[in-house]
Structure 1
Amino acid sequence: MKNNKKKRQNIQQKGKRQSIQKGQKSDFKRSQNQSSKAIKFYDNEDSILLVGEGDLSFTKALIQPPHSCPPERITATVYDSKELLLSKYPDTASDNLIYLNEYTVTSTNKAEDTTDDEIDDNENQQQNEKVPVKVLFNVDGTNLTKTKYIRKHKVDKCIFNFPHTGSGITDQDRNVLKNQGMSSRASLNTLTKKELILAFFKSVAQVLKPSGLVMVTVFEGLPYSLWQLKDLAKSAGFSVERSGKFDWTQFPQYRHRKTSGTGDTNRKAQERDARTFVFTRTTKASNQTTQENLKRKHDSSDSDSESD
């Protein structure tokens, strides 16, 4: 009798273990699927701020298929002046800038008395409307509110692809420090990578809408995995909502360039795995930012020095 009872208990415990293991495997598989799924950079009606654009090829890719983001919803920012940008990337920047400035949208105007079954070429005319992308130069991603236009136009999403100080440091330990330090400096060239990333998160909190998202893309592997991106974001009041692979095939026009402008990266970017992290503000940080914005709005005036 006791042996039968013990057998039943063993069978029940074994069943529970198998159920738990099955659940864990299911959760792990679900996590893997979510992790490998590419992140969508644009949703309908999103207003987007692009920070640290290189030769503006990502901006160009974003308004083309398969994304087709409306150009009027994008503000692309460049750290350099227009002159320096053109000199850094003479083979691509000029053409990309012209494309963004001259971008046109084709629409069809249908006469009011024309039905869907009655298509008349004389009454249905295509119109080309010039809708340029807003491109701002001399914009510091660690001090976004310094730019008047950005301060006055809150966004739904802020995208920062492959943040880097452009210092050219090859030593891994010094590279990590260069992209992660904590103090505030005058020039991006003197910022460590921690400084750059942390200052960016603190700055972007001031230009996001209450439910706004931040998207940061970095290469996988060393030294990028040592940057402690999620910890830095957390210290600035952000948490990871999700992450996914950066799908290069979705951005065929995008050309990843060196920040210093001395040429392409040593290894083709399309051959490297990259990951996009989507951050959202914590409730506490969101409330604090709202209060700071109200105070800043009360204290600020249009007579302040601006960069447009």
Structure 2
Amino acid sequence: MGKEEEYQETETESNSSDDEEDEEPERWKKHYSSKHRMLLVGEGDFSFSVSLARAFGSACNLVSTTVDTQDNIAKKYSNGVRNVRELEEKGGLVFYGVDAKEMRDHFFLRTQRFDRIVYNFPHVGFLFPEASYCQIQLNKSLIKGYLSNAKVLLKQDKGEIHVTHKEGDPYDKWDLVKKAEKIGLGLHEIVPFFRGDYPGYENKRAHGSQSDAPFPLGDSSTYKFKPNHSSKFK
């Protein structure tokens, strides 16, 4: 073997070794991986996104959205601006004014497909008493709109749509699973949700004069849905 060939072979082995060293290890936080391309919907003060970014060591796989404007985030949440800044510094994307019921038409999101689409505690706001017919119907409409839009933005092979939801009355009347089935989504799994699994996450009321205050979670679960063709209920 000539000197030039020997050098080229050594250089190739060195480059291969460098590539392997540059490959970031996969990191998990509960159901979510640093290798998942994730869309986080209705993010409030963005503390859930930040919790994942810290666990992953990066936010490069995260796209976080809110229906609020940038100005409203600053007015409503004490840590909102700080959380957004941390997400962006870690490589995440943040979009404002994204309606969960229309997000498939968003100029950027419509070009993307995601492994995981997550909406924690969807709620339209306290327009009527929580257990009233009108309030329940409004929340059911939000759930339906979110699920139908998320289905369009989902990777169809192994993608999952998640909804974290309070259990019991009146939340059971939202008919989450039935709404998903009508849209063509099958229930894959239900797992208990514990806020402590996500250090730094602060669930916020998001509406009214106490928008920055937490609300009692009680018994809550994360519902995981998949397109019917890949569901265990197929």
TM-score (norm 2): 0.79
Q: Are residues 1:178 and 2:131 paired?
A: no
Q: Is the 8 A contact 2:34 2:61 kept in 1?
A: no
Q: Are residues 1:56 and 2:15 paired?
A: no
Unaligned runs of 5+ in 2: 1-28
Distance in 2 separating the partners of 1:44 and 1:252: 16
Q: Are residues 1:92 and 2:49 paired?
A: no
Q: Please name the residue that 1:280 is paired with.
A: 226
**1:83 aligned to 61, 68, 71, which one?**
71
Q: Is the 8 A contact 1:42 1:69 kept in 2?
A: no
- Which residue identity does 1:56 align to in structure 2? F
Change (3 A) 1:54 1:261: farther
Change (3 A) 1:154 1:171: closer
* C-alpha displacement of 1:267: 4.6
Residues 25-64 of structure 1 mapped to structure 2, 5 A cutoff: 40-64=30-54
Q: Is the 8 A contact 1:245 1:276 kept in 2?
A: yes
Distance in 1 separating the partners of 2:154 and 2:100: 13
Q: What SS does structure 2 have at the residue aligned with 1:199?
A: helix
Q: Are residues 1:154 and 2:113 paired?
A: yes
Distance in 2 separating the partners of 1:235 and 1:256: 29
Q: Cα deviations across residues 26-62 of structure 1 (Å, max 9, x unaligned)?
A: xxxxxxxxxxxxx933135210000111000110011
Distance in 1 separating the partners of 2:75 and 2:214: 20
* C-alpha displacement of 1:200: 1.1
Deviating 4+ runs (over 6 angstroms):
none
Would you say how many aligned residue pairs link Structure 1 and Structure 2?
A: 201
Q: Please name the residue that 1:255 is paired with.
A: 202
Q: Please name the residue that 2:186 is paired with.
A: 239
Q: Cα deviations across residues 57-87 of structure 1 (Å, max 9, x unaligned)?
A: 110011123xx26411100001111111211
Change (3 A) 1:203 1:73: same
Residues 78-227 of structure 1 mapped to structure 2, 5 A cutoff: 78-89=66-77, 91-103=78-90, 132-174=91-133, 177-180=134-137, 192-211=138-157, 212-227=159-174
Q: Is the 8 A contact 1:179 1:196 kept in 2?
A: no
- Which residue identity does 1:178 align to in structure 2? Q
Q: What SS does structure 2 have at the residue aligned with 1:206?
A: helix
Q: What SS does structure 1 have at the residue aligned with 2:156?
A: strand
Distance in 2 separating the partners of 1:95 and 1:74: 17
Q: What SS does structure 2 have at the residue aligned with 1:60?
A: helix
Q: Is the 8 A contact 1:165 1:259 kept in 2?
A: no
- Which residue identity does 1:55 align to in structure 2? D
Identity of counterpart residues, as a percentage? 27
Change (3 A) 1:231 1:280: same
Change (3 A) 1:167 1:230: same
- Which residue identity does 2:88 align to in structure 1? N
Distance in 2 separating the partners of 1:213 and 1:101: 25
* C-alpha displacement of 1:169: 2.3
Distance in 2 separating the partners of 1:248 and 1:79: 22
Structure exhibiting the larger radius of gyration computed from Cα positions: 1
- Which residue identity does 2:45 align to in structure 1? D
Unaligned runs of 5+ in 1: 1-38, 104-131, 181-191, 286-308
Change (3 A) 1:253 1:202: same
Q: Is the 8 A contact 1:215 1:276 kept in 2?
A: yes
Q: What SS does structure 2 have at the residue aligned with 1:49?
A: strand
Change (3 A) 1:207 1:172: same
